[in-house]
Amino acid sequence: MANTHLSLWLFSKGTFTLFAPSDEAFSLLSGSILDEIENQPGKRKKFVLRHIVPGNLLIGGLAPYQELTTSTLDGKKLDIVAYSNGVSLESPFVL
């Protein structure tokens, strides 16, 4: 997040919910996508923005298999699906 220079901007804009990918989720990405995120500031910023939604979403309040649709900070539709052991972000977009 620090490498995207978004921290100060986010703190000045209100309340947000950040979905931090797990190590397992990162392991599912191809090496070339990980390289793009790591080495291209624009791609890294887009990746971070697509994991932040406006407002305070309390995922713990969702019942298992409940779905919620919202938009990310870069305007993309994001479907959130709750499971008994966490949530999954379902999205048709790619970097």
Taking only the tens place, the pLDDT of each residue in 52-90 is: 888 888 877 889 999 989 999 888 898 989 888 888 888
62 conformational bin, left if phi > 0, alpha if psi -120 to 50, beta if neither:
beta
What does the pLDDT read at residue 39? 92
Residue 18's identity, in one-letter code, is L
pTM score above 0.85: no
For 29, which DSSP code? S
Q: Which pLDDT belongs to residue 74?
A: 86
| Closest of 22, 20, 73 to residue 50, by C-alpha | 73
Taking the CA atoms of residue 61, residue 93, residue 19 and residue 11 in that order, the dihedral angle to the nearest 10 degrees is: -110
Paired with 93 in beta bridges are: none
Residue at 31: amino acid letter: G
Report how far apart, in Å, the C-alpha atoms of 48 and of each of 61, 62, 65 are.
24, 23, 25
Q: How confident is the model at residue 93 (pLDDT cuts 50, 70, 90)?
A: low
